Structure 1
Amino acid sequence: MARTITALELFQELADGRVTEILDVRNIDEFEAGPVEGPRPAPTRNVPVYRVFEELEEECARTLDDAIVICGQGNGSEMVAEEFELLGKTVRSLEGGTDAWNRLLVPREITGLPAPVRVWQFQRPAKACLSYLVGVPGERCIVVDPTRHPAPYLDLAAEHDMVVAHVVDTHVHADHVSGGPALSARLGVEYHLPPEDCGGVVPFPNRPLQDGDVLDLGSAQVRVMSMHLPGHTPGTIALLVSAAVLLVGDTVFVRGLGRPDLTGQAEDLARDLFRSVHDRLRPLDPRTVIAPAHWSSSEEIDDSGLVVTTLDDVFTATLLNETAMDRFVEEIVTSLPAAPEAYDTIRLVNSGRLAPPEDEVDILDVGRNQCAASTSLT
């Protein structure tokens, strides 16, 4: 039987720089739609499984020792690994394939915060998406921007004796299918989604958060305050935790700004984004930790394994220092690449206006995010 590796083990080995090579044996279109990428880049080859078996000895010779073989569900990669081992090559097959990789969530705690609040960042490497669990051990917690696979949030909450009291989506996401409505319904707790992102009406139970609303986590010292930051979408909110961490959604990233064109209002939302950045973010304490909903490259992951920055560092980006609104709008709008075709469909799903079959949702929920705009002036 071939040796195997789990999705979490692969993530950890990628983070440590210990992966010699990834041999992805999916079809070319599947590989291009969602290559396996982790905290650090690793040499990767895509050779469809049928070609591997057509030139088995040659492909075995080309493959590095201890390479990771990957397919969609783990069956094809296991067959390849078994054949390679018969030829004397030691490799490992990814258990569950890219299906398992796509579900993987890895929690990292953001430390150094005022007690008793704790914040965990959940990294989803398959999409470079970030979600959060914010809470007080022994009391209450909230889940922010959750994926469709809630077990890791619930397990961590149970580990620290916390009850999930709220589920929040900072905006209607376009790059991945949210698990927020289903999680809130499952737990019987309040769900919060900006109605402005849904044309004013949310067709499932929802209590919109208004600017300045507070979510109490159970201790008098701990408050999570909402802040309206339109720009990426009309209704985007951010959550300020204990005046120390800002869960900022897609407004700004470690290196980038949220693109304003995904709702068909690029210029208007670029102006909103300018105002959000300069009127709402700049006055905050420059030491505020910025915790975004995405990352774009492994260079944005710091030495502690987190995707965070400070507000002070955010404003080192050239475009964020542009004080003329018209110049800001022109530069950000003209720099935008075309959005993936699936984004309009994903927004309809996340706003409750479309309910495709589960297998179609699985397909929509694959592929890296493309939610960032440039921050450099030309």
Structure 2
Amino acid sequence: MADTITSTELFREIQAGTVTEILDVRSTDDFRAGKVEGPRPVPTRHVPVYRVMEELEEQAAATREGAVIVCGQGNGSELVAEEFEALGVRTRSLAGGTDAWNRLLVPVEITGLPGDVRVWQFQRPAKACLSYLVGVPGGNAVIVDPTRSPDAYLELAQVHDMAVTHVVDTHVHADHISGGPAVAARLGAEYHLPPEDAGGIVPFPNRPLKDGDQLDLGSAMVRAMTMHLPGHTPGTTALLVSETVLLVGDTVFVRGLGRPDLTGQAEELARDLFRSVHERLRPLDPRTIIAPAHWSTSEEINADGLVTTTLEEVFTATLLNERAIERFVEQIVSSLPAAPQAYDTIRRVNAGQITPGDDEIEVLDVGRNQCAASTSLTATS
């Protein structure tokens, strides 16, 4: 029987730089839809399984010792690994395949915060998405921008004796299916979603947050800045934790800004984004930690394994120092790549406007996010 490796183990080995190679044996379409990528670049080859089986000796000879073989559910990759082992090449099969990789959530704590509050950033490498658990051990907790698989948040909350009382989606997401309404209903927690992003009507229990609202976590508070950071969407919500960490959704990233076109209002929302940046973010303490909802490349992951930056670093970007709104709008709108076709459908699912079947949801929830307007903001000298 071939050796196997779990998704978590693969993530840690990619992080440590010890993965010699990934050999993806899925179909060409599936490979293009979403590759196995982690916190560091890793050599990757794609050879469909039928070709591997037709060219066993050649493909085995071309594969590095200790490589990880990847398929959709883990069956094809295990077969390939067994055949390679018979030829004297030791490889490992990814257990559960890309299905398991797509569900992987890796918690990394943002440390050094004042008081009792603790913040964990959950990284979903398959989509380069970020979600958060914010809470006080022995008190309450809030989940922010959850995926469809909530067990990782709930297990960590249980370890620290925290009751999840609030679930927040910073905006109606277009790149992945939210687990917010479902996990809130499961826990009996309050759910919060900006109604502007859903056309003004949210068809499930929802309490919109107002600017200045506080979410009680016990000995600490989370101050909500709602409907004052529009730009990526009309109603984007940001949560300021202990005046130190800003969970900013898709407003700004480590290297970029949230694209304003996914609701069909590119120029209008680009103007809102300009105002959000200069009127709401610039006055904050420059040491404020910016914790976004996505990353674009592994270069955005810092030495602590976190996708974070500071407000001071954000404002070293040339584009964010552009004070002329017309020039800012022109640069943002002209940088926009075409949005994936599925994004409109995903938005409608997350807004509760349509309810597709489980198979369609699985398809929609695959592939890296493309929510940034620009990932090449240059720093001023």
> Which residue matches 1:223?
221
Give, in whole Å, the separation in 2 of the partners of 1:153 and 1:57: 44
Alignment of 1:117-266 (within 5 A): 117-219=117-219, 222-227=220-225, 228-266=228-266
- Equivalenced residue count is 375
> Which residue matches 1:115?
115
Instruction: For 1:366, give the aligned amino acid.
Output: V
Gaps of 5+ in 2: none
Pair 1:83-2:83 in alignment: yes
Provide the TM-score with structure 1 as the length reference.
Answer: 0.99
> What is the percentage of aligned positions where both structures have the same residue?
76
Give, in whole Å, the separation in 2 of the partners of 1:369 and 1:300: 14
Give, in whole Å, the separation in 1 of the partners of 2:72 and 2:276: 41
> Which residue matches 1:36?
36
Measured against aligned partners, the alpha-carbon deviations of 1:226-282 in whole angstroms (never above 9, x if no partner) come to: 113100000001000000000000000000000000000000000000000000000
Give, in whole Å, the separation in 2 of the partners of 1:331 and 1:89: 51
Deviation at 1:223, TM superposition (A): 1.1
Measured against aligned partners, the alpha-carbon deviations of 1:50-82 in whole angstroms (never above 9, x if no partner) come to: 000010110000000000000000000000000
Deviation at 1:318, TM superposition (A): 1.0
Deviation at 1:211, TM superposition (A): 1.0
Please tell me the root mean square deviation across aligned C-alpha atoms, in Å: 0.7
> Which residue matches 1:338?
338
Instruction: For 1:304, give the aligned amino acid.
Output: D
SS state of the match for residue 8, structure 1?
helix
Instruction: For 2:181, give the aligned amino acid.
Output: P
Pair 1:289-2:311 in alignment: no
> Which residue matches 1:348?
348
Provide the TM-score with structure 2 as the length reference.
Answer: 0.98
Give, in whole Å, the separation in 1 of the partners of 2:133 and 2:189: 15
Give every structure 1 segment of 4 or more consecutive aligned residues whose post-TM-superposition deviation is greater than 2 Å.
none
SS state of the match for residue 362, structure 2?
helix
Deviation at 1:376, TM superposition (A): 3.8
SS state of the match for residue 239, structure 2?
strand
Q: Does the 8 Å contact 2:109/2:119 carry over to 1?
A: yes
Instruction: For 1:274, give the aligned amino acid.
Output: F
Measured against aligned partners, the alpha-carbon deviations of 1:96-119 in whole angstroms (never above 9, x if no partner) come to: 000000000000000010120000
Measured against aligned partners, the alpha-carbon deviations of 1:312-368 in whole angstroms (never above 9, x if no partner) come to: 000111111100000000110011000000000000000000100011100000000
